[in-house]
Structures are given as C-alpha cells and as structure tokens.
C-alpha cells in the first residue's frame, strides 16, 4: 500500500497524472523565471490563463553549478495552487530527497539519468512514494541511456539547453532525439522539452514530437505572463494540428 499524506484544501481539484496521460499539448511555465517577490500572484496568473502544469526546477549546486529553491517554497505554493507540480530534480541524490519533495506536494518527480547507475531503483522508489515518475536526459545524452526504463516512467524530459541556468539559447540538435523518443513512447506517456522554448522555437519542438513544453522567461519574463502563456499555447496547438 502506498503511503498517504495529508491533502491541503487547495489540492483537492488539481490535475492528477491520470489527467496528464490523456494526449494533448501543454505549456508548463517554469517557476525559476518568476518574480519570487510575488510568487503567489505570478502562479495564479498562469493558472487563470489555462496552465495545468507548473514546472519546478530544483538545483543543488552539485549536479548543476547553481542553487535554486527547494522543499519550503514548494510546500508554501502547494497551499495556494491547484496546478500539477512537475518537480525537475537537478540534484545528485534523488533517492535521498524524493520523499521530502513528494511530502511537500510535488505530483511528479523527474530525475536525471546521468546521476545514477540504477535508474530502475529510482523509478521504483518514487512510485512507492505515490508520485508519478519522470526521467530527464541532458543535450548530449543519447536516448538509449533510458531505453531500459522507458516502460517505467510517466514522462521523459529532453533538455534542450544545459541544465542549471535559465535564459539559454535553444539547442536544435536535440530535436532528432525527440523524434526518436516519440516513436518509443506510448500514447499515455508525456514527452517534455525544457530550455529555450519561446515563440520562435516552440513549433519545431512540437513538430518533432514534444507535447509538454517548459517555458520560463518566455512566460514569466514577459510583461504579461498570462498573455504570453496563451500565445505559446496557441502556437504549439497550431503546430500540432499541422503535424497531426
């Protein structure tokens, strides 16, 4: 039996992984680019604009050369938001910290395959905690690095920049890997891309097969994040219709 945790009132109607297993195009605003002096307001704006997912970039200063935020911020936001919390753990020890992030309110934990020699063990641990499972690969990590665990995950995240810093330029070479993975994933599994997603790159990412698109500065770095999110969603949806 999976461990149970108290569910704050704000969580009662938020999306669950069963909802996200339904194919569709989703833009996931990245909290890393938000104004931390008014987080609640920023998150509420994108939620009102139709976002389903909030992408949470957690950095430990070891796996990546930067430190972002952690459990306290996620726990505080969980009480204020019904969004699906997609926690991207850019950390060296996902096994050690997974429980804390789930208890804080994360719905999905994505770990990097580069940090472990036993990715199946990490998947199993996260699943036992009651969260959905994602695995991420860096720009030069081949798709074959995660082939043995593809059936065990709910989401695959392809990095289209090097993890650790926001605002980097999109690396188009990763699109070949996105196409390769799209052919290997089942319809209920999401294919996410993170890094340099903006109005100029989002269509190419969708046409390659990505259906979940993380956007940081292209949303929260804009004067009107809600309008920016709607425009990105429009561009992505149009690209999917052309592709489809």
- Give the confidence band of 167 by pLDDT, cuts at 50, 70, 90: low
Which pLDDT belongs to residue 4?
Answer: 41
Buried b or exposed e, range 199-224, using 16+ CB within 10 angstroms: eebbbbbbbbbbbbbbbbbbbbbbee
Q: Name the CATH topology of 9-243.
A: TIM Barrel (3.20.20)
Show which residues are catalytic: 57, 194
- Give the confidence band of 233 by pLDDT, cuts at 50, 70, 90: very high
Cα distances from 85 to residues 175, 178, 244, in angstroms, run 25, 23, 28
What pLDDT digit, counting tens, does each position of 102-140 carry? 999 999 999 999 999 999 999 999 999 999 999 999 999
Decide if pLDDT at 81 tops 50. yes
Cα 185 to Cα 208: distance, rounded to the nearest angstrom: 13
Residue found by looking up tokens 């704006």 in the block: 45
Which pLDDT belongs to residue 13?
Answer: 62
The better pLDDT of the pair 165, 27 is held by 27
The radius of gyration of the chain's CA atoms, rounded to the nearest angstrom, is: 16
Which pLDDT belongs to residue 185?
Answer: 97
Mean of the per-residue pLDDT values of the chain:
91
- What is the sign of the dihedral through the CA atoms of 142, 194, 237 and 83? positive
User: pTM of this prediction?
Assistant: 0.91
What pLDDT digit, counting tens, does each position of 2-56 carry? 444 444 444 446 777 778 889 999 999 999 898 889 999 999 999 999 999 999 9
Q: Can you tell me the mean pLDDT for 148-167?
A: 90
**Encoded tokens for 90:** 């850019």
- Give the confidence band of 166 by pLDDT, cuts at 50, 70, 90: low
Which pLDDT belongs to residue 244?
Answer: 63
Q: To the nearest whole percent, how much of the chain has pLDDT over 70?
A: 93
Which pLDDT belongs to residue 28?
Answer: 98
The better pLDDT of the pair 10, 80 is held by 80
């Amino acid at each position: 039996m999976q461990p149970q945790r108290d569910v704050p009132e704000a969580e009662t109607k938020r999306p669950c992984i069963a909802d996200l297993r339904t194919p569709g195009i989703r833009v996931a605003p990245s909290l890393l680019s938000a104004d931390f002096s008014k987080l609640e307001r920023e998150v509420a704006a994108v939620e009102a604009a139709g976002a389903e997912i909030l992408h949470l970039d957690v950095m430990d200063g070891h796996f990546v050369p930067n430190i972002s935020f952690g459990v306290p911020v996620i726990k505080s936001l969980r009480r204020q938001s019904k969004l699906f919390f997609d926690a991207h753990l850019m950390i060296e020890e996902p096994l050690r910290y997974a429980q804390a992030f789930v208890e804080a309110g994360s719905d999905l934990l994505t770990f990097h395959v580069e940090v472990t020699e036993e990715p199946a063990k990490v998947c199993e641990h996260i699943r036992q905690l009651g969260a959905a499972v994602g695995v991420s690969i860096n720009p030069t990590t081949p798709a074959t690095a995660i082939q043995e665990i593809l059936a065990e995950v709910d989401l695959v995240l392809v990095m289209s920049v090097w993890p650790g810093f926001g605002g980097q330029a999109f690396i188009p070479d990763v699109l070949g890997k996105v196409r390769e993975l799209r052919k290997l994933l089942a319809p209920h599994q999401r294919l996410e891309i993170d890094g340099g997603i903006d109005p100029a790159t989002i269509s190419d990412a969708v046409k390659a097969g990505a259906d979940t698109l993380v956007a940081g500065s292209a949303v929260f770095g804009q004067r009107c994040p809600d309008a920016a999110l709607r425009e990105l969603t429009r561009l992505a949806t149009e690209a999917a219709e052309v592709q489809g």
